Each structure stands twice: as C-alpha cells, then as structure tokens.
Structure 1
Amino acid sequence: MAKTKKRIFDGLYAQLEETDGSVVLFSAKGEPSVIFSMTNPVQQLCTDAEQYMLFQDVLSNIVQTLGEGYALQKQDILCKQAYRHDVPEDAEFLTRSYFKYFEGREFTEITTYLIITQEAQRGQFVQYDPKKWLDFHAKVSKVSDILAEKGIRHKKLTKAEVSEYCHRFMAFQFRHGPFSMTNFKASDEYLKTGERVIRSYPLVDIDEINLPSVIQPYTKIGINGYGIATDLLSFLTSVPHTDCVVFNQVVQIPNQRKLLRKLQAKAKRHGSMPDPSNKIAKADIEEVLNRLAVDTSMLVNTNFNILMSCPADKVTPVTSYLETKLYECGIMPSRTAYNQLELFVDSFPGNAYSFNPDYDLFLTLSDAALCFFFKEHLKGSETTPLTTYYTDRQGLPVCIDITGKEGKVKMTDNANFFCIGPSGSGKSFHMNSVVRQLLEQNTDVVMVDTGDSYEGICGYFGGTYISYSKEKPISMNPFKVTREEYDLNFGEKKNFLKSLIFLIFKGNELPSKIEDMLVNQTIVEYYDAYFHPFEKFTDIERDGLRQKLLVAAKMDDEYEKYAHEMEGIDEQIQQPPAKEETKALMLPSEERRLRLIRQCRAFQAVVLDKAATDSEKEKAAAKIELYKKELYETSMLVKIDKQIDHMEEQKRRLKVKELSFNSYYEFALERIPQITSLEKIKFDIRDFAAILKQFYRGGELEMTLNSDLDVNLFDERFIVFEIDKIKDDPVLFPIVVLIIMDVFLQKMRIKKGRKALIIEEAWKAIASPTMAEYIKYLYKTVRKFHGIAGVVTQELNDVIDSPIVKEAIINNSDVKILLDQTKFKDRYEDIAAILGLTPIQRQQIFTINALNNHDNRNYFKEVWICRGQNSDVYGVEEPPECYWAYTTERAEKEALKIYLRHYGTMQDAITHIEIDRKKAGISKYLDFARQVNNRQKVMSLW
C-alpha cells in the first residue's frame, strides 16, 4: 500500500470559535490565541525618540502583565498597494486631475496585528483547565485596557477577519481585493508559489548570535547633519522589488525560576573552569542575573523573522539589501536558514509555540527583545470637514485640516498662519495649492500679491484681478461708513482710520498721546457731524461744558490775577446801579452777578452804618467776602457762557456732507486748531496738513483714498490685489495693504462662511508700530468671523530682526508653515527661539527635501506645517494640470495665455497644453513653453 504524502498545512489549526466575547484561534497543539489589529503609535520620521521609548514601555507592560506561560506575537505586514480615491462626479477639474494623477500609484501600507497566545500543556492530549481559561481571557482584557489607556488604536478581529487573515497569510497575498491560492514548492533557499518567491530571513543565528552589544528601541540616521530618531527596521517600508514584507516578532515568557536555576548552574560550571572564555561567559551570565534582580525585565525566548515575497530573479538583490541594512544596525542575519518551509509555517498567526527551541529560539532579556519590535506607522489622513491634500513622505496623498481647528482633533484656537520660504523653495506653488483647495471648499479668499504669483489660479476660478499702476491706482474710500456700521461697529472702524492716518502722518514712528487724542477726537466728531448734523447744545450739554470749562479756567488762574479780579469786583460794588440793567436781555449768569452785587452793596451799607454794632459789621464783612468769591466765579461763568456760544457757532459751521478723505481733511484742519486753542496744547497743524496733503484734492495720490470701491467686490469669491509696482514705496505700500485689509474686514462681517486674507511679502507693510497694532487687531478679530489671516514671505531676516513682526504676527498665529530652511541653518538658533521651536521640530524642519524620495514623482517640494503643538513634514506634489494653473514662470504663463486665447477657457487651455506637451515628448514644462512662445500659436497650428 502506497504511503499518503503528508500535507504540511493540514492540521495547522485545530479550531476557530467565538467564545466569552472573543474570537479564539486554537493551534494544532491546542494553544488559544486572540488577535488584535492595531496601529503602531510612532509615526515614521517623527524624529521624536521619546515616542519610541514610550511604546517600548507599553510593550514591556504587556509582557509583564501576561507573565509566564504566555507568548506575545506581533506581525507587521508591509504590503505594496495601489492608490485609489473616489472622486465625486461634480468635483472641480483640478481636483479630478489631482486624484487621477495619483491613481494606481504604488505605496507601502503597514498593517499590524498583536496576538496573545497561551501555552498549552505538553502531552498527548490537551486538557481543559477552567482556571487557565479564565486567566487567558482576563489577560487578553488587560492587554486591551493597556492599549486603550495609552491611546493606541486597536480592536479584536472578528471570526471572518481572523479567517481571512490566516488565509491571506497562507497565500501570502495582502493586496486589497480578491486573492487565490496556488501550489507551494519548497527548497532550502525559498518557497515558490506561482511566479513569486517567499523567503524567510531570521534575524538571529543562535550558533553565532551576531547582535549589537548595546540595544535601544530606536536608532539614529544622519540627515542634514542631524541625528534623526527612527525605528531599527524602518527600512522595511522600502525594500526594493518586493510586493510584501512580513516582520514576525515572537516573545515567549517561560518559567522564570526554572531558567534562573539553569543560568546559576551554568555560571558555576563556567566558574569551575578558569580560562578566559569561561570567565567572559560567567561575567555575562552574572550581569544578566544582576539585571533581573534590579529591574522588572524578564527572561524570554524570542524569534524575529522577516518574510518577503518577490519575483524569483530578484531574490539576490533583495537579500543583499536586507543584509546591508541589518548590518548597519549591527545585526548579522542567519545565513543557514535552510528550513524555509518550517520557518514559514511557524510564523503563522497564533503559532508562537511551534518554533524548534534548539535552533529557532534565542534567550534574552525582555527589554532587549522588545527593542527589536517594529514601532512605526505611516502618515494617515485626518477626519475633517476642511480637507487640504498633501503627500506623505513616500508620495501618497493624505488630507489634513490646514487650520488645525475644524477637524475632529482640535489643535489650534485660531486659523491664522505665517509661511516662510526662501526664493526657489516652492512657497508660491504651495500657497497656490492651499488657495485652490480653500476656494473649492466654499472659502472667500482675498489676496495681496507682489509678483503675479496668483494670476493663473485667479484666471482659472474667474476671480477679480486688480493690478496697481500709476495710470489706474487701486482706489478706495475707507472713510465711507454705512449707518449700520456706524451704529454697530464704529469702534473698530475708528481704530482702523486712526492707524491709516498715523501711517501717513508718522510713518514708522509711534504717535504721541496728544496726537492720538487729537486724531481720535476729530474722527469721532467728523462722523458725529455727518450722522447727527449739529444745531445747538442741549441744556444738559451746556451744563456739562460749563463745568468742564470752569475747572479748566480755575486750573489756569493765578493769585495775582485773582487779586486783580477782586479789586475789580470791589469797584463794581462801590459803583451806583446802572439804569440800563434790565433782566430781559441778560444771560442767567449775568442775572446772578447783578443779584450778588446788590446783596454786596446792602452788606456794604451795614459795614458803613455808624449805628450798626461791631458784631453786625463783622458778619456783614464776612458775607461780602463770600459773595465776592461767588461774584468772581459768576463773572467767569459769564465769560464761559460766551465761550460756549462761540463753540456752538463753530460746531454749527462744521458740516460734513459726504464721507471721504477730502472731507475729513477739511474737517480736521478746521477743528484741530479749535481744540488746541481750547485745551491750550501744542500740535503742529502745518506739518500735519502738509504730509496729508498728497492724498487731498489735486494731490498726487488723491484717488487712493477718495474713490468708492466697486460694491460688487463684496460678492466676489476670489480677489487678488497685485501691488508689485508699489512694493518698494515706503508710503504707499503699507497704506494700500492697510485699506485692502479694511476691505477684507468689511467683507468678512457681511458674508457668511469661511473667509481668508493672505498677504504676500507683508513685512515691509508692517514695519511701523501703528501697522503692527492694526495687524494684531486684525488677527484677533478674524477668528470671531470664521476667518483666516495669513502672511507669506521669503525674507527670514525680517522675522529675526523685527520685534514688531514677532508681536503682531508670530504670537498671534497658531499655524506656522516653513519651507526649505537649509540656507539659514547657521542662524537657526535665533529663528528657533523666536518661533518657539522645540528640538524635535528643528530636526523635522531639516529633513525637508533631504530624503531620497524623489524617484518617479512630478515636481514637488516639501513643507513643514505646525498646528499648535502638532507638527510634521508634508509633500506638495501636484499634477501637470495644477502646475500650469500655478506656475509663476513668465514664459510658461505666456504660453498658457496663447492656449487660452485659442481655446477660450482656462480649463480647456490647461487640458490642451498638457496633452500637446506629452504628445511632443517634452518632459520639461519650460522647454515646451518656449517652443509655444517662439511660434506664438498652439501646437496643432505648428
């Protein structure tokens, strides 16, 4: 009778059942296992060594919790996948182009499983032990609690998921979608299944044990002169030629006392034979025993095995790559792994106790073993209603909430940002990408540009492009205020106008308190005169003014003047009453004065009366002195009443018929001298008039502040103010920027939804303290109206050297965006201190554009984005269609305009210029653009 050939995969598992709230997988020998899917908590290239240490502590805690008789198995599956993204039918053309560009791009996906296995009794039969069964479920529950407490995402697999996992492992097929099994052919070198080869690489050859003498949970790689923390085996994400890599990590926790006795006996044996090698062996064992006595580490049996699949002709280069990378970590992998089929079968999930203890397991301390556990995950997309797509470090699109405040996880209090990138770092390209995505998600955007960087994207979205020129300056009327705005929001408008006037009048100087008071008062009275035309003072207003002027008069009075006035009053008392004194024509103060004089005359008569007693004369004299003081005050009130009459007449003359800079200028020049005269203060009205005159009637810049802005602009979704021609004008540039900001604030209050104001190269505009105060106010105000304020610059020195910039922008921006900063590396200590960067964030910044991740990718640059305390590096990679829309290269823009004139719409122009470029076989956009410009016609007409 012929012998039946043994099938090695038959009887691999005994049973899969759902019991006591867990799906339990039983191995052929009866070991129960529960499988968790989980996400490693350390993001690759986070540069933070502390995160690796924290995960090491979690794993150590799990091992301690499980204790003797348990195995911890962790499998990290690094599988090549093809990128897919469902795009809505009504998506914008550029968005569809974006996801179409990435469609099918290969990337490495990391899937992680944590498997808890309980050791079964060795024997012919497996006996049910209720205590062990309860202990198993209790330990599984504790492991889940530990992961949850540390915020590590995980879940138990369902019965169907466990079944699929085991079948996929057997087929070694982890790509998404359906899969099939094929026959295995085993050899000493590898397993062959179909056209693919599966090979195992055990990390430890127990005959030689070539491992580093000191191990920690991470290693450091040199990037740009910095030692960047990364996983020991982070290279597994980029093994060439492979379609799948599985890193199988197993830790068995044996009986500790039994092992300790063995080690102690072994140390004695080595000590009994005093030669150098035995001395070293004894010292090593004693060091291990000391460690076990001091800390919480345990003795564990381990197996680490890398399994990979690749085409048969690529085994040699893959092996060479792995050996090189492991050697860099101080590991010499086993070269005698001839039991390939056995290693593959032993690596199945839940098979942690199937390894041969004689040649597959390595005894070490648990802390050392856990250092080899893979700890990284790749960047993922965030859950957020506002999606901004970037690429991760391997070129896969991921979405983030650029504001940091709209996503599921709140990172910031406000969405304000600043973006710094030197020339050529891709700053404008990046901002074009952000603006496109904001516009596509119903955000109103106002931009201040200096260099036509946003002309293309503005044309694509049909926005309003306003370019400043001497012939056609950007003109607005910031003094025009509606009744509603005056009633509800005058305080903000007043502060803006003060900032504007002082920007013209004082430039980079701070105004004095007197200047601030005067301008503030003129603005308040100017609008009061317009909205409440003056007729006369009310009785209450007159009383208030009377009291105020009386106090001022007393403040100015001197003793000599007082004595002189008293002599005059004595003369008035001595004079006989005038016949013409009639009450009908008198002011109340004059009536009171006459009444007091009569009373003084009556008491004077008592003083002169010889018949009066000394006591009566004394009382009469005292009364005269009292009334004389009242007469002095009354005579002052007479003057004050006349002064109030004069003020009333002045105020009646100050009419404001229309709101503009012209009418304010006229109002201020008439009103300021009146105030300075009344208050007896100094103010150089002639300097004020002369400096502001250029914006007044007939002045060179009259149109700048006196023409009403097109009200339709408030309905525009996208407005670009191009002010390159005045960026070097120290007077005009900051003023135009300021009035554009005011336009944005008005738009922000009127319109619902998200709004963004982005100012390119704004540092020159905020060089004055006045402007800085207004920017601070703007940054604090926009957050109340679902707004975003951002500035973009390449002048890093301005950040370092200007305390105004720090106060106005950096301290009020929760979002920081930096592009390649390599050229500023020598000064980065200063920059880091100003920006408040941590050492980890500095390391992240210097990995920008420094990785070897440019192959098979379109033009892209990397950018560092920090939202609150959350920071990372992202790639700005866009499809050719977006490149044509964003380009700031003049020749490329001119070529696109030729296509636009021919095809009529920006979308058609972009579509055809890209089709023609590919058809011409020209890889560089600029080369193709030059050919179009040389012929001045589209390619189909060449």
Structure 2
Amino acid sequence: MIDIKKIFPIYAVQHQAMVSVQGDITIAYRLQLPSLFSQSADDYEAQHQAWIKALRVLPRHSVVHKTDWFRQRRWQADPPTGRFLEDAGNRHYEGRAFTEHSCSLMLTKKAEDRKAASSSYSGLMRKSIVPRQTVDAKQISGFFEKAGAFERILSDSGYVKLSRLTNDELTGTKAKAGILEQYLYLLGAEERPLIKDVHLKDQVRVGEDYCNLFTLADVEDLPALCGSRMTYDPYSTDKTRFSTGLVAPLGLLLDCDHVYSQYIFIGDEGKVMKALEAKKLRLQSLSAYSRENAIARDATNDFLNEAISQQRLPVKAHFNVLAWANNTDELQRIRNKVGSAMAKIDAQSKLETDGAPQIWWGGIPGNAADFPANDTFDTFLEQAVCFLNTESVLRSAKTGIRFGERLSGRPLLVDLFDAPMKNGTITNRNLFVCGGSGGGKSMTMNHLLRTLFDQGTHCVTIDIGGSYKGLCELTGGYYFTYTEENPIRFNPFYIGPGEVLDTEKKESLKTLLVSLWKQEDESYNRSEYVALSNALQGFYDHLREDAALFPCFNTFYEYLENHYVSVLEAHKVQAKDFSIHNFLYVLRPYYKGGEFDYLLNATENLDLLNQRFIVFELDNVKAHPILFPVVTLIIMELFISKMRKLQGVRKIIAIDEAWVAIAKAGMSQFIKYLYKTVRKFNGIAALVTQEIDDLISSPILKETVINNADTKILMDMRKFMNKFDKLQEVLGLSDKGKTLLLSVNKANEPGRNYREVFIDQGGQVLNVYRNELAVEEYLCYSTEESEKLRVQEYTAKYGSIEKGIAALANDLTQIKS
C-alpha cells in the first residue's frame, strides 16, 4: 500500500488552474457539444476544421486531454401537479433508462525540461515525489494567452460552448464532487463526494466497481480510413446518408457506464521531424534484411513527405474507453459491447491489463503530462481530431412542450416559442404542422394544445373530424358542433359583465348582419352602414333601460321591429337609403320560429372571451351555404377579440384540416392577416394539414402560411421520398432537414408505442423527437372510433371523462401486463 498523498500528481489548485508536482500547468473547461442526430455531414466537417484551427494555436509541449463521461441513469418524475394528463405522463416515464453525458477538456503545458513519461517511468511507480520549486511565470503567461485564443476559435465556430472551471469545480466542495474526485472515484457531476478505495494490482478497481480499459494506442488497431463523420445506417435511406460522428459508437451509442478519454500531444515539430528522418535512415539500412523494415521505411517516408508538402502538424495521440460494472457477469457483457462498438468504427479493441494502471494514472485531470508515451502513436492532427467525440445529449429547456429524446425516450421540454424568439432563431411563433393520415399529427397537436392550456394559454381550435372532443371535454371547454338533435348555437350579441360595446364589437356585428342580409356579390351603401350602426347603438341603449331583456338576435330583431322603425321614420330615412322591411324580411329565418332561429340565440356557452379552450367542429356544416359563413365570421370575431383584449395572455388558433373549406368561404384574407400580425399580440397561428399536394398547389399555404410560420412540425414523409424535391422546395428545407425528415420513424425502439416528429425552427435548429404518450393521454387524444366509443362508455359509467379514462387506462394496463 502506498499513501497517495506522497505521490498524488496535483500539487496546487489556484487561479482556476492546476499545478502538478512536476510543474505542469493545466486549465480545464466544461464543454457543451451539439446533440446527437442533429448534425449534417457539413456540420461535422465544419466542426472538425474548427478543432484543427484551435489546436494549431497551442504552444509546443502542450497536451489536450478531453474526457466524455457517459452514465446510465433512470428518470425520476416530478412531484404530482394535480393536472390529470401531466401527472399521467410523469408516471409513464418514471424509471426510464437513459444516458447522461458530461464533457470536460484540459489543456496542459508541460514544464520545459520535463522528462517524457512511460509505463516504467510514471509517477505511479514512485514511492514519493519531491515537488518542483519554481515555475516560469513568462511561460505561464504565454500559455494562458494561447489558451484564450484556442477558446475563442472554438466558441466562434458556433458548435462548441466552453466555460472555464472554477477552483471549486476542479477540487470539489463538501456538497459536490469536483472533476478530480469524479475521476478518482467514478462519481457523477452532481453527486456528493465519497472516498473509495482504489486497487490497481491485477485489475483497476474503484470501490465496488470493476473497471476494464480498452485502448486505441497502436496504428495497427486503428481503422484504415477515418473522417469527421460516418454513415448511420438505421436512419439512412436510398436518397440520404444520415451522419454521426466517427466515434459515436464509443459515446452515446454505447449503453453502459464508461469514460471515453482522448489525448493529443503537441510536441516540438522540428525535433519530431528530425527523429522521423533518423528513423527512416535506420530503417533504410535495415531494409535489406527484412521486407517489414522496407515497408516501414516507405511508410515513414510517406509520412514525412505529407507533413512537408501539405503542412501537416505531426502529433502523438491516444484514445481509450474506461468501462465499469459492479459484478463480473455485467463486466463480461460490457466487454462484448465495447468490442462490438470498436468493430463498428473498423477498429481493433485491445483490453489493457499490465499497462492499465499507468494509463489510468495519466488520466487524472491535470496529470496528462505523465501519460506513458509508449502507449501513444504518431499521426497528423487532422486524423487525431477525427477521434474526438463531438456530440452530446439533447438539453431540456426550463419550460416548453414535453417530447422524448430520440435515442432513449428520456422526456425533455422543448421550447418552441419564448427562447427561440429571444435568441433570434425564429421571428414569429406561428406553426405549420403537416403529416399523412395516421402519422400522429392530431396526437401531437392535442399534446401541444393541452400543454399550452396548462400553461395558461387561450386555445381556439377549428377542426373537421372531431379530433379534439376528448381534450375539450377534459379541460371543461366549449365544443361547438352541429347535429340535428343539438344544432350549433352562438350568441354574438351577448356582452359579458364588465365589457362594453366598443368599436370592434360593433364592426364585427355589422359584418355579420351584412353577410346575412346581402349576397357576396351585392354591395351596400354608406346610408345602410350608418343605419346599422345606429341600430346596434340604439339596441344596447335599450338593453340598459330594460334590465329584463336578454341580449340575443331575437331581442335585437324585436327592437328593430318595435322601436327602430319609428326612429327611421322620424328621421325620414327613405327605403332606397335603408329598407328596414327588406332587412327584417331577409333576416326573419334567424328569429324565433324561423328555420335558423337556434343559430344566434344561444343562452349557454356565452363567455367566449374568457373561456380558455374552445373547439369549432365544422364537419357537418362545411358545405352549408348559410351556417358555414356565419360560423367562420364568429370565429374570426372571437379570436380577433381575444388578440386585442387579452393583453399579456398567450393565445393560439389552430386550424386543423379545415383550412380548405375556410378558404372557400372567403376566410383566406383572415388567415393571411393572422399569420402576419398575431405575433404582435403574443399569439400563435397554427395550421395543420395532411394533403401534400395542397402544399404545392395552394398559394395561401405557399405564400402566407409557410413563409410566415418559422416553426414547422412534420411527420413521417418517407412515402413521398420519390417526389420529395418539390416538397422540399415548398417547405424551404435544407439538405440537412431532408435527411432528418426522411429518417423519422425509420428505426423506432421495439416494444414502445410512439411516433417521431421533425421540428424545424427558422431553418437553424432542426431535431427529431419522440412523441410518446401515456395511456391516459393516448385515450384522450385518440381519433380511432372504437377507442373513442370505449372512452365514452367508461365516461358514462364513472361519471366524468377523467375518471373514465383513468379506469380504462388501468384496465388496459392490467390486460397488457
């Protein structure tokens, strides 16, 4: 046993830097990398070039030590909120396994006169170390300046975010482990410090965990070809090649607890070239005795030629995977997994035994200068950078819509509106949602609307097909639909408590009355406009005088008949200016006893302004020449009223499959108005369609909706792969977006029921997510007739839709288990 205090390589931590006992200076960064499955081939190449540029500015005798930690975790649900569907979703994800990733980068400047370490000359082999007494201040200042340039180059690339680690983050505190303790004791970034025994004899063991070290330390073990990316076959198609980083199989795609460590040693270029020249001459003299020596001579000569002709920077490199488990059976499975992962990148896995302790010792943060040089290989910087891990997990926003991470299904919040507006990713909050039948768009929109409703948003939905009836009932909203037994009813004349007859309300009522009175091709003159204005003002004055009267079309009609006629006569209004009798005759069908007396005389569902969830189901009236224009006018008036009067409140209008009918009814101008102005009123306009041909042929969609919807949510489009070019042009998708979109639902996790969605925000942030729902959510949102009927049956049996869905979900879960 050796007292680690006598040989521990880190002498001091101060000024956010570590000083080793040999006089090496190390500064460390926390790295934030792009998410896995979100980058294109061009992104990987651009990031690769940024790393090369950054590493080239570092001084000689520098060591770049990058560590990526991958830990298997289980998701823990938040405390219950009291919201039925949100709590159901939390329970559904409870215990979900996922991979947690963190990344740190250490830059080390070796002491100038430091002797190169090896497996036989390592600090681990000593019984004690005498600390170096002096450090060159000028050397430290120059290194810090170069490190600053390195940091700026990487940050300016836009792919990597760096944050300098503080003293506490390096050494840890009583409550939180620092990177030194994390490495020595295999602790998580958020775990409390816990001292463990470390055994290095025969096998590396940390506490109860058995460790295996797999290295890439010899050119013979490396892939014959390497690059900044590789093709990920599960998500690729005949038309697209889906990209991941070269070493993704050693990172997030390796599902076990492990650390992927990457070392790049930048030496004295002149000395390296001179040593290689000497090696070539030595091999030349020996080439007559062995063909292997001749081959080695030629390889060395080619290396030197390329270094000089293409200005390559020769470096030494080493890469390894440290994986651990708390039992030998699991450790054997891990060996198989790592071996398979190495094979995926065409590399040969080597399990280190004798040299593992020295390599582990050199991996201590701040001790990379003590890494054994005999376990490194010569290469160029361009090739070495290919083996850096450049990907991380998706990060969850503070607030947003719950989706699932594509790889594991881990739930995360995706902010579609606030943060992207602040950082300039999008310039409006509008949505465009498109997907084929059965692709999951109604499920996605239900989920989105439910989340927005829980966050306090006013939701107005126009639907054809009854996709939102369950959610509307669950939220206690208003559901307007037409049946013979219960025809659709409104009351645009009703003014709620505290409201007044403002100009906007009068204008919307006049528009409604004119549309009922006149044909589309008929015009109305100024005198008729004034007469209607006076009639409405007089009617509401009359209501204030007689509190017993209820505002509706019936009382308005009676006011015109009994009071306003005499007013017109008193003012000697001629029939040619305004024919009150013609007006009353044409509008008679909407008065009590008329054919449509139900339409404008509702006594329930009156407070539309303050009701936060409203659905207009237009399936049975979309072809009706009388009802449909009235309904569309009332919808327009309602949402414009919400936009202007509900200040500081978010509101959304979702038009699902109804837009074709609405456009025919002359509502296209309203859609254009919405998409161009709703942003100013903290509003969202969302349009949903499944007809791909409509995208290509409709000028409303092409010129207004798509151009003014910065967020596009698209479902599975693979069946349109062979005619995707035109669709890509209309949607304004990049090649990266095309590749991501065509990968949707291509390799879903077996045994889990979900659909994937592709989200494009401003053409800048593109990702694919799972939309995985709890059983309760699925039953509430389902559009399958048999499932809707069962929900109705259970609702009737248990007295409410919430209790009915809960009981049905419980029954289905028991049957499945």
Scaled by the length of structure 2, what TM-score is found?
A: 0.83
* Bigger shift: residues 43-52 or 706-715: 706-715
Instruction: Report the alpha carbon displacement of residue 289 of structure 1 after superposing the two structures with TM.
Output: 3.1
Specify the alignment match of 1:811 in structure 2. Answer: 707
Could you tell me which amino acid in structure 2 is paired with residue 780 of structure 1?
Answer: K
* Native 8 Å contact 1:755 1:787 kept in 2: yes
- Report which stretch shifted further, 250-259 or 48-57: 48-57
Give deviations 1:248-297, integer Å, cap 9, x for gaps.
11111111111111222333445564787666545543443344335553
Distance in 2 between the 1:36 and 1:342 partners? 24
- Residue in 1 that maps onto 2:684: 788
Q: CA deviation at 1:854?
A: 4.5
> Hey, what does 1:392 align to over in structure 2?
405
- CA distance in 2 between partners of 1:484 and 1:526 (Å): 24
**Cα distance per residue 1:233-262 (max 9 Å; x no partner):** 2123456662x2111111111111111112
**Counterpart check, 1:866 vs 2:760:** yes
- 2 CA distance for matches of 1:153 and 1:176? 20
- Give the alignment of 1:310-325 within 5 angstroms: 310=325, 311-325=327-341
Q: CA RMSD in A?
A: 3.6
Structure 1 residues 529 and 294: CA distance shift in structure 2, 3 A: farther
Query: Against the structure 1 CA distance between its residues 137 and 336, is the aligned structure 2 distance closer, same or farther, given a 3 Å change threshold?
Result: closer
Distance 1:414 1:501 in 2: 35
Counterpart residue type for residue 131 of structure 1 = K
Residue 269 of structure 2 corresponds to residue 256 of structure 1:
yes
Contact 2:55 2:150 in 1 (8 A): no
Q: Aligned residue for 1:159?
A: 167
Q: 434, 441, 449: which is aligned to 1:435?
A: 449
Structure 2 SS opposite 1:227: coil
The alpha-carbon distance between structure 1 residues 125 and 398, as it changes in their structure 2 partners (threshold 3 A), is closer
Question: Which residue of the partner structure matches residue 728 of structure 2?
Answer: 832
- Tell me, what secondary structure is at the counterpart of 2:272? helix
**1:128 matches 2:135:** yes
Matched residue, 1:583: none
Task: Verify: 1:68 aligned to 2:84, yes or no.
Answer: no
Residue from 31, 35, 38 that aligns with 2:31: 38
Query: Does structure 1 residue 141 correspond to structure 2 residue 148?
Result: yes
1:527-584, Cα deviation, whole Å (9 max, x unpaired): 21222589xxxxxxxxxxxxxxxxxxxxxxxxxxxxxxxxxxxxxxxxxxxxxxxxxx
Larger radius of gyration: 1
1:526–1:751 distance in 2 versus 1, CA, 3 Å: farther
Q: Is the 8 A contact 2:361 2:371 kept in 1?
A: no
AA aligned opposite 1:663: F
What SS does the corresponding residue of 2:241 show, helix, strand or coil? strand
The residue number in structure 2 matching 1:365 is 380
Query: How has the CA–CA distance of structure 1 residues 706 and 460 changed in structure 2, closer, same or farther, with 3 Å as cutoff?
Result: closer
Q: Distance in 1 between matches of 2:629 and 2:733?
A: 30
* Displacement of 1:442: 0.9
Structure 1 residue 192 displacement after superposition: 3.5
1:454 aligns with 2:468: yes
* 2:775 aligned partner: 880
Matched, 1:217 2:209: no
> Equivalent residue of 1:862, what SS?
strand
Partner AA of 1:82 in structure 2: R
Is the contact made by 1:401 and 1:407 (CA closer than 8 Å) also made in structure 2? Answer: no
Aligned-residue offset at 1:363? 0.9
Asked whether the equivalents of residues 706 and 731 of structure 2 are also in contact (C-alpha less than 8 Å), the reply is yes
2:551 aligns to what?
none
Residue of structure 1 aligned with 2:9, choices 6, 13, 36: 13
Are 1:82 and 2:84 matched, yes or no? Answer: no
- Please state if 1:327 is matched with 2:343: yes
Counterpart check, 1:100 vs 2:76:
no
Instruction: Map 1:161-310 onto structure 2 (within 5 A).
Output: 161-163=169-171, 164-174=178-188, 176-178=190-192, 180-186=194-200, 190-206=203-219, 208-213=220-225, 215-222=226-233, 223-225=235-237, 226-238=240-252, 242=256, 244-270=257-283, 273=287, 280-295=295-310, 297-310=312-325
- Residue 336 of structure 1: CA displacement? 5.8
In 2, the alpha carbon distance for the partners of 1:533 and 1:491 equals: 12
Range 307-316 or range 457-466, more displaced:
307-316
For each residue in 1:394-416, what CA deviation from the matched residue of structure 2 results, as whole angstroms up to 9, or x when unmatched? 21222122236676434222222
Number of residue-to-residue matches in the alignment: 749
Corresponding residue SS for 1:96? helix
Distance 2:366 2:610 in 1: 64
Of 380, 395, 404 in structure 2, the residue corresponding to residue 380 of structure 1 is 395
Deviation at 1:309, TM superposition (A): 1.0
Residues 453 and 43 of structure 1, relative CA distance in 2, 3 Å threshold: same
Candidates 663, 668, 672, aligned match of 2:583 = 663
**Structure-2 change in CA distance of 1:853 and 1:282 (3 Å):** same
1:664 and 1:755 map into 2 onto residues whose CA distance is 37
1:406-443 CA-partner distances (Å, limit 9, x unpaired)? 76434222222121121221111111111111111111
Question: Which residue number corresponds to residue 423 of structure 1?
Answer: 437
- Provide, for residues 731-757 of structure 1, a one-character-per-residue CA deviation record: whole Å limited to 9, x for no partner: 865764454233322333333311111
* Secondary structure, counterpart of 2:397 in structure 1: coil
Aligned with residue 531 of structure 1, among 514, 530, 533? 533
Kept after mapping to 2: 8 A contact 1:757/1:790: yes
Tell me which moved more, 763-772 or 866-875: 763-772
Matched, 1:356 2:372: yes
Q: 3-state DSSP class of the match of 1:353?
A: helix
Aligned partners of 1:465 and 1:722 also within 8 Å: yes
Q: Which amino acid aligns with 2:816?
A: I
1:842: how far off? 0.7
Q: Is the 8 A contact 1:232 1:329 kept in 2?
A: yes
Map Cα deviations across residues 120-140 of structure 1 (whole Å, 9 max, x no partner): 223687343232232233333
- Over residues 752-790 of structure 1, what are the superposed CA-to-partner deviations in whole Å (9 max), with x where a residue is unaligned? 311111122124214549432332123223223222221
Give the whole-Å Cα distance in 2 for the aligned partners of 1:405 and 1:652: 59
1:25 to 13, 18, 22: 18
Cα gap change, 1:253 to 1:810, in 2 (>3 Å): same
Q: Distance in 2 between matches of 1:904 and 1:473?
A: 24
| CA distance, structure 2, for counterparts of residue 425 and residue 398 of structure 1 | 21
Alpha-carbon displacement from aligned partner over 1:364-402 (angstroms, at most 9, x marks no partner): 111110111000111112355xx2121111212221222
Give the counterpart of 1:711 among 606, 627, 638.
Answer: 606
Equivalences for 1:756-795 in 2 at 5 Å?
A: 756-768=652-664, 770-795=666-691
2:607 and 2:589 map into 1 onto residues whose CA distance is 28
Q: Which amino acid aligns with 1:39?
A: Q
Q: Which amino acid aligns with 1:340?
A: A
Aligned to 1:330, what secondary structure does the other structure show?
coil
Greater fraction of residues in helix: 1
Shift of 1:182: 3.8
Report the more deviating stretch, 803-812 or 43-52.
Answer: 803-812
User: Do the aligned partners of residues 71 and 840 (structure 1) sit closer, same or farther apart at CA in structure 2, a change above 3 Å counting?
Assistant: same
- Alpha-carbon distance between aligned partners in 2 of 1:460 and 1:710, rounded to the nearest angstrom: 16
Residue type of the alignment partner of 2:363:
S
> Kindly tell me: are residues 722 and 364 of structure 1, through their superposed partners in 2, closer, same or farther at Cα, counting changes over 3 Å?
same
Identify unmatched segments of 5+ residues in structure 1.
Answer: 507-514, 535-647, 668-692, 924-942
Please say if residues 412 and 867 of structure 1, whose CA atoms lie closer than 8 Å, have aligned partners that are also in contact.
yes
C-alpha distance in 2 between matches for 1:766 and 1:478: 20
Taking the aligned partners of 2:534 and 2:677, their CA distance within structure 1 comes to 28
